[in-house]
């Protein structure tokens, strides 16, 4: 299948279930990499999270000292919120265009992001919630100082944090979870004996969470 540009350099991997009929994939995972990543970084992770899903993986367009990101920051932990808003709009347009081009169901898109990608996915939920039915957020924080509280009833979020993460304090994950719950989302917050890196145990837990999605 032709890999169109659609505004982002990206990779699309259709479900092995087939493009149509009863074998059509129910879900598409929007894979959002961390700082310095590419569209290839989370393909293996996406397949582990949901082997039956379509995988849509864009490359961030912002460069920070040569490393790709989805939105700018002024310093570590200090985000350029205006750029996050701009980036969220661009991603929404990209997902819609990709759905039309590749033929997947836009009603069942779940973001799966790590670090900067997870913060971007959280921003999408808060700023443009209609594009996502839920999210798997690895090492995310609440990315806006004064976040909106959209209607997120029916949205599901798996939030996975490392107890020894040197970048993200536990309170930051709890604040994000509380805000999403306050907007009506169903949130499962899990903590692991890990740092900023991902572990096999949390990937397996996220896989089970997705598999049990009713």
Backbone conformation region of residue 39, classed left if phi is above 0, alpha if psi is from -120 to 50, else beta: alpha
Backbone conformation region of residue 88, classed left if phi is above 0, alpha if psi is from -120 to 50, else beta: alpha
User: Given 165, 179, 207, 208, which residue is catalytic?
Assistant: 165
Collapsing DSSP to helix, strand or coil, 83 comes out as helix
Exposed e or buried b per residue across 30-52, where buried means at least 16 C-beta atoms within 10 angstroms of its C-beta: bbbbbbebbbebbbebbbebbee
Q: What does the block give as tokens for 20?
A: 């149509």
Rounded to the nearest 5°, which phi and psi values hold at 155?
Answer: -80, 145
Pairing of strands 73-75, 78-79: antiparallel
Q: Is 165 a catalytic residue?
A: yes
Asked if 158 contacts 137 with a C-beta cutoff of 8 angstroms, the reply is yes
Asked if 186 contacts 157 with a C-beta cutoff of 8 angstroms, the reply is yes
User: Given 196, 201, 207, 208, which residue is catalytic?
Assistant: 196
Q: Is 115 a catalytic residue?
A: yes
Q: What does the block give as tokens for 100?
A: 């039309």
Q: Is 57 a catalytic residue?
A: no
User: Given 57, 115, 160, 179, which residue is catalytic?
Assistant: 115
Residue the block writes with tokens 């609440």: 142
Tell me the catalytic residues: 115, 165, 196
């Amino acid at each position: 299948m032709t890999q169109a540009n659609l505004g982002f350099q990206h990779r699309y991997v259709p479900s092995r279930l087939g493009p149509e009929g009863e074998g059509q994939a129910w879900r598409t995972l929007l894979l959002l990499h961390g700082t310095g990543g590419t569209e290839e970084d989370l393909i293996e992770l996406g397949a582990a999270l949901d082997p039956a899903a379509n995988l849509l993986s864009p490359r961030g367009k912002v460069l920070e000292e040569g490393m790709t990101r989805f939105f700018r920051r002024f310093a570590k932990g200090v985000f350029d919120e205006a750029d996050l808003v701009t980036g969220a709009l661009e991603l929404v347009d990209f997902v819609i265009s990709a759905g039309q081009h590749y033929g997947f169901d836009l009603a069942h898109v779940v973001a799966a992001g790590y670090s900067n990608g997870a913060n971007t996915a959280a921003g999408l939920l808060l700023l443009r919630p209609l594009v996502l039915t839920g999210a798997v957020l690895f090492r995310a924080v609440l990315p806006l100082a004064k976040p909106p509280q959209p209607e997120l009833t029916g949205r599901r979020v798996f939030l996975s944090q490392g107890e020894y993460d040197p970048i993200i304090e536990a309170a930051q994950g709890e604040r994000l979870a509380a805000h999403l719950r306050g907007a009506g989302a169903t949130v499962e917050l899990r903590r692991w004996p890990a740092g900023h890196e991902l572990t096999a145990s949390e990937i397996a837990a996220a896989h089970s969470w997705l598999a049990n999605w009713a």
